[in-house]
Amino acid sequence: MKKIYTFIVASLISMSTIAQAPKLMSYQAVVRDASNNLVTSSSVGMQISILQGSLGGTASYVEIHTPTSNQNGLVSIEIGSGTIVSGDFPTIDWENGPYFIKTETDPTGGTNYTITGTSQLLSVPYALHAMNSDSWYLNGDTTYTDHYIDVNSPRMHLEGSNFTDLIISNNAVGDPSLWLRDVDSSITWRIHNDQSRDNILSIRPWNNYSEFGGTTWSGLNLDPFSIDTAGRVSVGNGVNFKQVFNVYHPDSSFINIETSGNNEAGLIMSELGGARGARIFVDGTTTNNLIFQVTDDLGEYVDVMHMPYFPGSEIGNVGIGTASPARKLHINDVMRLEPRVTAPANPSKGDIYMDDTTNKLMVYDGTIWQACW
């Protein structure tokens, strides 16, 4: 009968120092024939199986290699880098052992495996368990943990070659949140998805902070800032979204638009692209007038009305067609009164209107309407 080769496992199984996933195990063995001669400088076929539970247990992972032995008959492979037959090496649950390594060898370099050996994996591979245990585990290209993470550093930097995302999510009902607090402060800012209010994004101060939540700060029960799922923004009230932008305060409510130095500060309202629109602004570069403008057919802003800030005698004057109104109402052009058939009801002294029947300008003298000519 033809003699078969014998395979003597000589050496080492250890963690590879390669830092990138997947993690690897280095494996070395010496191949000898039945006459105890080294099989040197030859291609060797090998199939590696990781068995779970026992010497004859279920294969959690199987791969094949075709290394070349050196002049001493030594072959070296990295388990985890071969051609995969089944399983996923980085996701082996090393905690759920014991595990055994089964080697099948074809000294002629093929897949007719005539030499088999099985031995238990002891402590060394469990460096992988530190990565894939209940503290940290891999799924594809994602690392997971079921525990709190404390990054004791002044900053955390996320960098990616394309999109870089930080995802905070729940696998049950609850509000995913980001808390911002100073160790010396009793107030903590919370940014969270408020599921109790139709999943609005809420930014609100809290107190009594803990790792399990906190209590809304009594000094401000309404949201300083919130956005609903329709894209509407609310400042001061995260419940009643009436317009695209909403401002609410239980006392007086103002929007402050301010610049540094003598610059223009104002509000622009226009259609998409700005072809038609209007703006209201304070011209801090010259007269500090409050100016109302609209766009003309060329898209250029033209003055409609001025309200001076100084000199003091002109404060409160309104100018239409003039930047320097000298009266409470100063019109630098034709003013039109639309004629009406009947006199206004309940007139007061000084009221005027254009009579459409008599074609006369009428003024109320306190008793009756008088024609101006």
Claim to verify: residue 214 and residue 188 sit in the same structural domain: yes
Residue matched to tokens 């791969």: 63
Last residue of a domain, one of 247, 278, 295: 247
Full domain range(s) for residue 11: 6-132
Claim to verify: residue 46 and residue 81 sit in the same structural domain: yes
List strand residue ranges (DSSP E) for 166-252, in order: 177-181, 188-194, 200-210, 213-216, 225-227, 233-235, 245-247
| Low-confidence winner among 120-129, 222-231, 262-271 (lowest mean pLDDT) | 120-129
pLDDT, position 15? 42
Predicted structure pTM score: 0.54
Domain contains 158: no
pLDDT, position 284? 79
Domain contains 154: no
Residues 6+ apart with CB under 8 A from 164: 158
**44, 69 Cβ separation under 8 angstroms:** yes
pLDDT, position 243? 92
Domain contains 369: yes
Residue 124 has pLDDT above 70, yes or no: no
Domain contains 67: yes
Claim to verify: residue 273 and residue 219 sit in the same structural domain: no
Domain contains 52: yes
Other beta carbons less than 10 A from residue 54's beta carbon:
12
Average pLDDT over all residues of the chain: 82
Pairing of strands 318-320, 329-331: parallel
pLDDT digits (tens, 9 = 90+) for 140-185: 777 777 777 777 777 888 888 788 888 888 777 778 888 887 777 7
Claim to verify: residue 209 and residue 291 sit in the same structural domain: no
User: Please, where are the H alpha helices in 74-165?
Assistant: 129-132
Counting the structural domains of the chain, the total is 4
Domain contains 144: no
